[in-house]
Structure 1
Amino acid sequence: MPDDATPDPYANPIAFGQRMQIQRQRRGMSRPVLAGLLDMSPSWVKQVEGGRIQVPKLPMILRIAEILRVRNLADLTGDQSMRIDLFIGPGHPRLAAVKAAVDEFPLTTTGLAPSTRHLRHRLDGAWAARHSAPNHREVVGELLPGLIRDGRLAVRQADNAADRRTAQSLLSEVYSLSQFFVAYQPDSALLWRVAERGMVAAQDSEDPHAIGVAAWLTAQAHRDSGPGHFDAADAVTLEALRYLEPQLPDADDRVLAIAGALQFEAGYTAARRGENGAAWGWWDKAEKTARKLSMDYYHPVTSFSRAIMGAHAVTVAVELHQGGESVRQAARADETVIRSRPRRARHRIEEARAYQLDGQPDTALATLDKAHEAAPETIKYNGYARRIVLEECESKQPDRRRRASELAVKLGLLAA
């Protein structure tokens, strides 16, 4: 291997600082950017990477792991006793069945496809279950294999071009539902197969709403892959918005909502970059779009609505590391009008991040308890929640450490 080649971070022995540098470079992040996100100086980052100062304590290690999207703490620390997945949750028991349905390559199937009306009814029921069930992954995971197989069958057996486009739109939506199930599980390749197939089916459907939803989910997959993929996330988001823009003056609530969701996605990515003006500028655009929606409208895939904009404001402030502003936005957001259990739990997690950022760890833990009450399967797979809980398990305050440990047991991070 050439002397200037990037060392393998899994080889031993490699010091913490060198592992940190490797992970930072793999994410395409500069020292000044990492330093800014950590509220430290570029000099501090350089000294840690060079091994000239001691290894940071666990709370800082967890923050570094969060920012660099390090999947497993052992990849950063080299300590195999710390094999804790932050941004990949435990594999769901129904993952294998969903994967088998996605991976099938049926050419000789003789079954009769259900009607598109029947598929629409089943999909509506699946989305309703996802939003209302506390164990939403379990419920959706049970429904997905049949929906995937029947969706593909409907496309293959369509009688004419119009019917085929309708079936493709439904199949794309099935893949969208699948992406919610597969996300943050230990099979990133499956996630990308689902995202790409959803986009292809949406494009074949020529349905603006389906295309917008597929783009929204694909942009999220890029962004969650780390800073090196932010440009790709923006490219998908902005191209979808350019496609939808001419149709917005006469659009129904569904198409307006997916445009608003995409506008917020652009702001979310800007916030992850630390671009304050752009982040809030896109939030403003999304908020104006939300005002055009019917008062009680709630998009079944993205949860975009008038009510969700308060929750989105919390997310922007948190991603910009604006502690005081994030808490102010959390106080303003009315989470009780968020009808979806998993989205309500996600909002609670964002609130917890705000309180943690603002130096209120006890309130953060109490808020995570509420997230667990709303949707246990949401918090169990959320890397931000897991990071906060692990950090507070090291607290010097006995009561706080006990509460964090109890929550860690619920999330499967610690043995009972």
Structure 2
Amino acid sequence: MPSDATPDLYADPLRFGQRVQILRERRGMTQAQLAGLIGISEHTLRKIENGQRGTPTLDRVLRIAEALRVRDLADLTGHPDAHVDLFIGPGHPRLAAVKAAIDGFSLSSNTEPPPVPHLEARLARAWKDRHAAKNHREAIGKLLPDLIRDAEALVRHADSSAERRRAQALLAQTYSLSQFFIAYQPDSALLWRVAERGMVAAQDSGDPHAIGVAAWLLAQAHRDTGPRHYDAADAINLEAVRFLEPLLPDADDHVLAIAGALEFELGYTAARRRETGTAWRHWDKANDMAGRLPADYYHPITSFSQAVMGAHAVTVAVELHQGGESVRQAARADEHAIPSRPRRARHRIEEARGYQLDAQPDVAIATLEKAARTAPETIKYNGYARAIILEEVESTQAARRHRASELAMDIGLLAA
């Protein structure tokens, strides 16, 4: 190997500081630039890189990884067992309490469950709070521990098969709400437990709508895990679509909407595979289902509706890496018609991805600023948004770099 070649991260054991230096130089960053991004002095960073300081705290390691856009923590630490995908957001302060409620099975019958109508009303209120709140994880995170415990108690105390099925449907819905809270947080095992428990509870309920929602979320868990799970995502989606299809001629709006949401998910996964024709074919079928819904209808869980189909078109174009098409679809979509704050912010993020693909980084940053004003927790936990911001923090254009840095600090992505 020539003496000036970049060292291989895995050729020989390397100190943490050496790995930081290699990854920094691969990014074309100076010590001053990286130090500024992670909130330390250039002198301190120099000591870390040359081994005069030991490995920093976990929080600082994560900031370094974020700034260097390292997808796998093992690349930075050199420890294969530190295999952590960093394309996720930070842990929410209420995650521990939600996890404790999920993990804490109560086998006694001492806890008196709430009346069914009371739990139904609380769940409905929680979904409304999620859609209305700027910081939606905080809004539902504080409600989830009691909802989980009460829904589980309701199942335990059911006296008849009909009561048990109704209780299982409510438990499945509670797990669905939990999955929205847990998604993109650093506890993938907890996410899988919730997704699978939700599917089991939904199947036990026999409720078509509950089964459809649980399948929709379980398929997303598979798809977001990566390409090796795309087939599993499709298998779950297709099974749920086939299950619901005979019911659709007489279905209510909720069942029709979840069937449409599942159809779109098939298109979403196809777009991830870059299967253009298949992706748009499923979008067309979902759009036809949306057209059968009332114009002002909005599914309380998936957000499926006529209004959201424009946003879904942007997502398909972005996942297909069709920058120009994604920008055209963004121009057609009316994000103001989407009543849910987190869903509107997600749409803005997808638009920003489209603008970034179309070589319009200034518009992408401006669009992410709008997303942050709509629902800051959505952008804080979204890996795509954070990747765009960090890329533009390194821009050679001073105005763009400053704007991206301000946004990064506003959402807590970089040290102030």
Q: TM-score range by the shorter chain?
A: 0.7 to 0.9
* 1:398 maps to 2:407: no
2:33 — aligned with what?
Answer: none
2:414 — aligned with what?
Answer: 414
Tell me the TM-score normalised to structure 1 length.
0.82
2:37 — aligned with what?
Answer: none
**Match of 1:120, as an amino acid?**
E
Q: 1:170-181 alignment to 2 at 5 Å?
A: 170-181=170-181
Q: 1:341-352 alignment to 2 at 5 Å?
A: 341-352=341-352
Residues 182-206 of structure 1, C-alpha deviations (whole Å, 9 max, x = no match): 0000100000000000000000000
2:269 — aligned with what?
Answer: 269
CA 1:353/1:57 → structure 2, altered by over 3 Å: closer, same or farther?
A: farther
* 1:141 maps to 2:138: no
Q: 1:150-229 alignment to 2 at 5 Å?
A: 150-229=150-229
* Shift of residue 384, structure 1, vs aligned partner: 0.2
Residues 321-367 of structure 1, C-alpha deviations (whole Å, 9 max, x = no match): 00110000000000001000000000000000010000100000000
* Shift of residue 412, structure 1, vs aligned partner: 2.0
Aligned length: 357
Please give the alpha-carbon distance, in whole angstroms, between the structure 2 residues aligned to 1:262 and 1:78: 36
* Shift of residue 111, structure 1, vs aligned partner: 1.9
CA 1:193/1:79 → structure 2, altered by over 3 Å: closer, same or farther?
A: closer
1:90 — aligned with what?
Answer: 90
Residues 128-175 of structure 1, C-alpha deviations (whole Å, 9 max, x = no match): 000001011011000000000000011111121111100100000000
**Match of 1:201, as an amino acid?**
A
**Structure with the greater alpha carbon radius of gyration:** 2
2:367 — aligned with what?
Answer: 367
2:241 — aligned with what?
Answer: 241
Q: Contact 1:258–1:302 at 8 Å: present in 2 too?
A: yes
**Match of 1:78, as an amino acid?**
D
Which of 60, 75, 86 is equivalent to 1:78?
A: 75
Q: Contact 1:291–1:306 at 8 Å: present in 2 too?
A: yes
Q: 1:49-128 alignment to 2 at 5 Å?
A: 73=70, 75=72, 78-79=75-76, 86-128=86-128
Q: Contact 1:86–1:387 at 8 Å: present in 2 too?
A: no
**Match of 2:148, as an amino acid?**
I
CA 1:72/1:155 → structure 2, altered by over 3 Å: closer, same or farther?
A: farther
Residue 302 of structure 1 aligns to a residue whose secondary structure is coil
Please give the alpha-carbon distance, in whole angstroms, between the structure 2 residues aligned to 1:10 and 1:221: 31
**Match of 1:283, as an amino acid?**
W
The root-mean-square deviation of aligned C-alpha atoms, in Å, is: 2.2
Residues 74-132 of structure 1, C-alpha deviations (whole Å, 9 max, x = no match): 63793459x99742111000000000000012111412111111111000000000000
Residue 336 of structure 1 aligns to a residue whose secondary structure is helix
Q: 1:289-300 alignment to 2 at 5 Å?
A: 289-300=289-300
Residue 143 of structure 2 aligns to a residue whose secondary structure is helix
Please give the alpha-carbon distance, in whole angstroms, between the structure 2 residues aligned to 1:308 and 1:404: 28
Q: Contact 1:166–1:205 at 8 Å: present in 2 too?
A: yes
Q: Contact 1:86–1:386 at 8 Å: present in 2 too?
A: no
Residue 224 of structure 1 aligns to a residue whose secondary structure is helix
Residue 130 of structure 2 aligns to a residue whose secondary structure is helix
CA 1:166/1:11 → structure 2, altered by over 3 Å: closer, same or farther?
A: farther
Q: 1:302-341 alignment to 2 at 5 Å?
A: 302-341=302-341
The worse-fitting range, judged by mean Cα deviation, of 110-119 and 226-235 is: 110-119
Please give the alpha-carbon distance, in whole angstroms, between the structure 2 residues aligned to 1:10 and 1:190: 31
Q: Contact 1:72–1:85 at 8 Å: present in 2 too?
A: no
Please give the alpha-carbon distance, in whole angstroms, between the structure 1 residues aligned to 2:100 and 2:277: 44
Please give the alpha-carbon distance, in whole angstroms, between the structure 2 residues aligned to 1:77 and 1:191: 22
Name stretches of at least 5 consecutive residues in structure 1 with no aligned partner.
1-8, 20-53, 59-70
**Match of 2:260, as an amino acid?**
G
Please give the alpha-carbon distance, in whole angstroms, between the structure 2 residues aligned to 1:74 and 1:322: 24
Please give the alpha-carbon distance, in whole angstroms, between the structure 1 residues aligned to 2:163 and 2:92: 35
Please give the alpha-carbon distance, in whole angstroms, between the structure 1 residues aligned to 2:124 and 2:161: 24
Q: Contact 1:10–1:75 at 8 Å: present in 2 too?
A: no
Tell me the TM-score normalised to structure 2 length.
0.82
Percent identical residues = 70
